[in-house]
Amino acid sequence: MNKTMTEIRWHGRGGQGAKTACLLLADAAFASGKHVQGFPEYGPERMGAPITAYNRISDLPCTIHSNIYNPNYVVVVDESLLHAVDVTAGLDPEGAIVINSPREPEELRPLLRGYTGKVCTIDARKISEQYLGRYFPNTPMLAAIVKVSGVLDPDRFIADMEASFHHKFATKPQVIEGNMSCLIESMKEVRGL
Amino acid sequence: MSIRERLSGNEAIATAMRQIDPDVFAAFPITPSTEIPQYFAQYVADGKVGTEYVTVESEHSSMSTCIGAAAAGARAVTATSSAGLAFMYEVLYVAASSRLPITLACVNRTLTGPININNDHSDSMGARDAGWLQIYAENNQEAYDNYLQAMRISEHPSVRLPIMICQDGFITSHAVENILLESDEDVKKFVGEYRPEHALVGRDHPLAVGPYDSCPFCMEHKVMQAEAMKNAKKVILDVAADFEKTFGRRYGFFEEYRMEDAEVALVLIGSTAGTAKACIEKLRARGVKAGLVKIRVFRPFPMEELARALQNVKAVAVMDKSEGYSGCGGPLFAETRSACYDLPSPPKMIDVVYGLAGRDCAVEDIEKVYRHLLKIVETGETGPRYIHFGQRSNQEEVL
C-alpha cells in the first residue's frame, strides 16, 4: 500500500448527510488533482440507523475495492454513536478522530476504548444552526476533517468548494454564503489540533 | 482527448447511454441498478437524448419491450440487478434465440434469498446459459469502456446476440472514482449507427419474429446460435483493438497481471481484481511470484486462451463470487478446470467461493488465499478442491 494514500472512515446516522459529506470530500480532492474513492457501505438503511462511508485519497491510482479497516482518520457525525459503534476500531494512533460535539476532546477520550491518538471535536450543530438556520452537520464536519487531516490545501479546498456550491446550488444561491461560512468557521473552531 | 472526471459506476453507465442515445430504454428500477434509469430519465426530461423511455410494470416487461423494439429494428437497452434479472429469465432466452442485439447493464447483486441487496455474481451467473454475451468490469472505467464496445460486438452480423455489461453492485456502482470519459462526438463515431439487415418495420424484407420452430428446423437454429457465440470471440478482439487505437485503453478476453513468471495465480471476476493487484504488489516485494488472471469475457468463455495463460503456473485458486450449488464448486471453477484439462501438465487447482451476499474481501483476505497456494506448491498436496472463504464458522479453517 502506498504511503501517499490517506484513508478516512465516516460514522453517521442515516439522514445526517455523512454519505454526502464523504462524496463532497471526494469531489474536493478530485478537484485538487488527486485520485479519489468515495463510497458508502450499504444495507437496509433507514433514518437514524448507524451508517459508514469511506474515502481513499491518493496521489497514485488506487485499485483496492474493499472497505477500510485501518483508517488514518475517523469522522463521527453523531456523538451518540460513541456508545453504539466501535468507532476507533483499527484507527491509526498516528492519525486522529474528529467528533461532532460541543464538548472538549479530553472529555470524550474515555469513551474511545483506549484510543491513544489525537482526538478533535467540533460543534457542528452550533455552526450549522448559526449560518444555515438548521442542523446540517455535514458541511462543518467536512471542513473539520480537511483541517485535521491536512489531506488538502485549505485555501484550495475553500476555493474548490465555493465553485462546487455555485454549481450544486445554482437554483438556490441564497444558501451558498451560509455553507461557505460553515466551512470557514469550522476550520477555525475545531479543537484538539 | 479524454475528459478527466469522477463518477460512480452507475453514473458511468448512464453517461455512456446518454452519449450513445439509443432508440429505446425500457425501465424498471431495482437496487443497485436503480440510478441508471434514474439518471437516464433526467436526460430524457432535459432533452439530452431522443430515446423513447418506456416505463413498465416489471422486468419481464422491460425485457419484452426491448425484444419488441429490437425486432422492429431499434437499438434497445435496459438495466437491472438480482431478482430483476431472474424475473427476465424466460425472455432472456427469447432475446438470444431471436438473435436480437439488446444491451443490458447488469449491476451484479446476489439473488434472494435470504433477502439481501449486496454484491455477488449469482444473478448473471444464473443467466450464463441463456445465450447472452457477458462482459465484466473491475471498476467504473471498465464498466464505461465495456459499454462503449458492447453494441459493436452484439450487433455485428456474425454475432447478433444480446449482451450483458456487468459490474459489481455498490462496490463499483455506488463508488465515486476517477474516470476518463470520451467526448460525445467520439463516442457516437466509435459506436456508429445501427442498421439491422432484418427488421419488422420496413416493407422490403418481411419477416416473422418468435414463431413456433418445429422439430425439423429448431435444432439447426440452436446450432447457428451456438456458432454465433463462437464467432463473437473474434469480434470482441477486433472491437477491443479498434477501441485501443481510438481511445488508448487496452482490453482482451481477460487481463493478465504479473503472470509472466507467476508460480501461484488467482482467476477471478470483477472488482476483487483491484484488491488482488494491491496484494500481488505486496507479495512481489517479498519475492513471491504471484499473479492474477481477471476474466473480462465470460460468455463466450475464452477456453484455449485461458489454458495458455495458466500453463506454466504451479497452483491456481479460482475465486467464485457465486455459489452455483453444484456440490462441487462454482461456475468459474468448472469452466477454468475444464479449460486446463488438455494441458500436458495442468496446474493444481482449487475453488475458493467467497464474497457471497456482499461479504467483503480485503487485501489481507487475498493474501491468505495466496499463502494457501504456496503451501500447496510446497507440499505437493492440493487438499480440498472446493472451499468457502470469509464466512464465520465453527469448523477448522482451511485457509
- What is the 3-state secondary structure of B387-398? EEECCCCCCCCC
Q: What is the pLDDT of residues B141-186, one digit of tens each?
A: 999 999 999 999 999 999 999 999 999 999 999 999 999 999 999 9
What class does CATH assign to B254-389? Answer: alpha beta
What class does CATH assign to B3-247? Answer: alpha beta
Q: Which residues of B touch A42 (CB under 8 A)?
A: 32, 117-118, 170, 174, 358
Q: Is there a shared CATH topology between the B3-247 domain and the B254-389 domain?
A: yes
- What are the phi and psi torsion angles at A164 (to 5°)? -65, -40
> A64, A68, A69, A171: best mutation site toward chain B, by most B Cβ within 10 Å?
A64
CB contact under 8 A, B275 and A66: yes
CB contact under 8 A, A61 and B178: yes
A1, A39, A62 member nearest B176 (Cβ)? A39
d(CA B393, CA A182): 48
Number of residues that this document lists for chain B = 399
Q: Are A164 and A28 in contact (CB under 8 A)?
A: yes
What does the pLDDT profile of chain A (193 residues) look like in tens digits? 445 899 999 999 998 889 999 999 999 999 999 999 999 998 776 888 999 999 999 999 999 999 999 999 999 999 999 999 999 999 999 999 999 999 999 999 999 999 999 999 999 999 999 999 999 999 999 999 999 999 999 999 999 999 888 888 888 888 999 999 999 999 999 999 9
Q: Which residues of A touch B168 (CB under 8 A)?
A: 65
Q: Are B182 and B142 in contact (CB under 8 A)?
A: no
Predicted ipTM?
A: 0.94
Q: Where are the domains of chain B?
A: 3-247, 254-389
DSSP string, B62-116: HHHHHHHHHHTT--EEEEE-HHHHHHTHHHHHHHHHTT---EEEEEE-PPSSS--
CB contact under 8 A, B362 and A69: yes
Give the pTM. 0.97
Q: Are B136 and B268 in contact (CB under 8 A)?
A: no
CATH fold label, A6-189: Pyruvate-ferredoxin Oxidoreductase; domain 3 (3.40.920)
B157 phi-psi bin (left φ>0, alpha ψ -120 to 50, beta other): alpha
d(CA A139, CA A175): 12
CB contact under 8 A, B178 and A35: yes
Nearest chain A alpha carbon to B270: A65
Counting one residue from chain A and one from chain B, the pairs whose CB atoms sit within 8 A come to 69
User: Side chain identity at A137, as an amino acid letter?
Assistant: P
